[in-house]
Amino acid sequence: MSQERYVDPVAQRYASSEMQVLFSPMERAKTWRDVWIALARVEQKAGLPVTEEQVRELEKARNEIDLERVAEIERETRHDVMAHIHHYGELAPEAAGIIHLGVTSCFVTDNADLVLFRRALEMIENRLLLAIHDLGKFCRQQAHVPTLGLTHLQPAQLTTIGKRASLWLQDLVDAYRDLVEFRERLPLRGLKGTTGTQATFLHLCGGDGAKVDQLESDLAGELGFDRVFDLCGQTYPRIWDHKLASRLTDVAIAVHKAATDIRLLQSWGEVEEPYESTQVGSSAMPYKRNPMRSERLCALCRHVMTLAPGLGQLAANQWMERTLDDSAQRRVQIPGLFLALDAILIISRNVFAGLGVHDDIRMKRIDEHLPFMAAEELLMEGVSRGGDRQQLHEQIRKHAWAAREAVVRGEKNPLRGLLEADEILSPVVAALPDWDAQRFTGRAGDQTLRYLDQVVATLPQPSEDHLTDLKV
């Protein structure tokens, strides 16, 4: 690779080779040929002027692609699709006259895009499943491990580490299900003609509309689709590009939330992303262990999140049956979406599979605040023993504020001692069970395990991709 020309850093540094190959010029050209071959097959089957020998010649030449020759022809024609048609015809001369019969450029570009998008979605879904299962293992391991809950980023009731991580997990699972649903209902553009009227195919089929419908249905089957768009202009409705981007963006949003929480937890020393023995945290401060992978996740997720609005603008600005101002934008943004999300999920898996918990710091943070967590239980116990709720509340409040001031000064939380020394409250404190953190996590652990057993366990088993190692 030349180091003297700009290279997309998402592809160069982060995305998998598989996703890069899928959106490469060569794979795009091969997919175009798949669409042309499928067209020739269904036309031959329908009795249109296409022979079986011509179909076989197209099939034989399918992988003989010289992109330099295509570029040479395009410099003359100023038309990328026609350049590919001419080159294909050079390699399959007996079939040259029937390549692209009855269709417009968007027939091959749009149908091929939809084929590629579906393949890319399948790759993303598998990577997402891998990340889900890795995070699920962490949730199960930490299901009943208490930790300080935080609302407004301030200490609140205790939860468990597994329960907090299960919130990240649930967002990812919901995003996965939405992706699958979107892919399964993604239609093929089909045979719609230059303005979507199918006028050319109506002519080729002798005015037989039912024959046109059958032709389109057969084409969808050849390309692995079970439905086509009911209506199109020249292109498939570009709002579907925005729908696609939105579903991919949901994954990025879910990962960003998880990565943000991990960054905060690592700043307090409670949870830490994986860190290699030779890794450098800072060029100036050798002691640093920065959450660089989670930070990278947030950066790439924000990149993905910026793309959906642009594709919405694209869809909104398609004039009448079509304009060509969508082409350049789609070539850049849609592959960019998939490459970035591919990278996000590879990094996510690396982080989720290597998350560590520092129990000493976790317990120190709990011990600092646990007496405050017991205050509500103390109040309820005092009332049940015949005490005045408002009087008890005021006594507890005064001691709690004094204890808080001590904690702010860096001292150990003195609240329990203050309560035990209080004449009114000491009998109530003595009646309470031991102040074990586990008693204050509610159903957090059980909720986590139930979600893992009843929801995550029902998801398909992913195919291993062996891509947990990062490029950088």
Residues 6+ positions from 46 with CB-CB distance below 8 Å: 205, 211, 214, 215, 218
Q: Over 60: is that where the pLDDT of 287 sits?
A: no
Distance, CA of 252 to chain centre: 5
Residues 6+ positions from 415 with CB-CB distance below 8 Å: 371, 372, 375, 399, 400, 403
Task: Give the per-residue pLDDT at 285.
Answer: 53
Task: Give the per-residue pLDDT at 1.
Answer: 53
Q: Over 60: is that where the pLDDT of 305 sits?
A: yes
Residues 6+ positions from 226 with CB-CB distance below 8 Å: 220
Match 């026609």 to its residue by tokens. Answer: 82
For the stretch 190-233, pLDDT in tens is: 999 899 999 999 999 999 999 999 999 999 999 999 999 999 99
Rounded to whole angstroms, the Cα distance separating 253 from 168 reads 10
Task: Give the per-residue pLDDT at 279.
Answer: 52
The H or E element spanning position 136 is helix 105-141
Active site residue 152: yes
Encoded amino acid at 407, one letter: V
**Quick one: pLDDT band at residue 472, thresholds 50, 70, 90?**
low
For the stretch 413-443, pLDDT in tens is: 888 888 888 888 888 777 777 778 888 888 9
Residues 44 and 99 sit within 8 Å (Cβ to Cβ): no
Domain ranges in the chain with CATH number 1.10.275.10: 9-98
Q: Single out the catalytic residue among 2, 152, 277, 466.
A: 152
Nearest alpha carbon to residue 148 among 427, 307, 357: 357
For the stretch 220-274, pLDDT in tens is: 999 999 999 999 999 999 999 999 999 999 999 999 999 999 999 999 999 999 8
Domain ranges in the chain with CATH number 1.10.40: 361-441
- List the structure tokens of 141: 């391991």
Class of domain 9-98: mainly alpha
Q: Over 70: is that where the pLDDT of 470 sits?
A: no
Task: Give the per-residue pLDDT at 83.
Answer: 96
Q: Single out the catalytic residue among 267, 282, 384, 426.
A: 282
Rounded to whole angstroms, the Cα distance separating 255 from 175 reads 10
Instruction: Give me the mean pLDDT over the 324-343 stretch.
Output: 92
Residues 185 and 191 sit within 8 Å (Cβ to Cβ): no
User: Could you confirm whether domain 361-441 is CATH 3.30.1380?
Assistant: no
Nearest alpha carbon to residue 138 among 164, 120, 115, 159: 164
For the stretch 363-416, pLDDT in tens is: 888 888 887 777 777 778 788 888 878 888 888 888 888 888 888 888 888 888
The H or E element spanning position 151 is strand 146-151
Indicate the average pLDDT of the chain: 90
Pairing status of strand 356-357 against strand 271-272: antiparallel
Per DSSP, what are the bridge partners of residue 147? 159
Rounded to whole angstroms, the Cα distance separating 84 from 105 reads 11
Instruction: Give me the mean pLDDT over the 179-186 stretch.
Output: 97
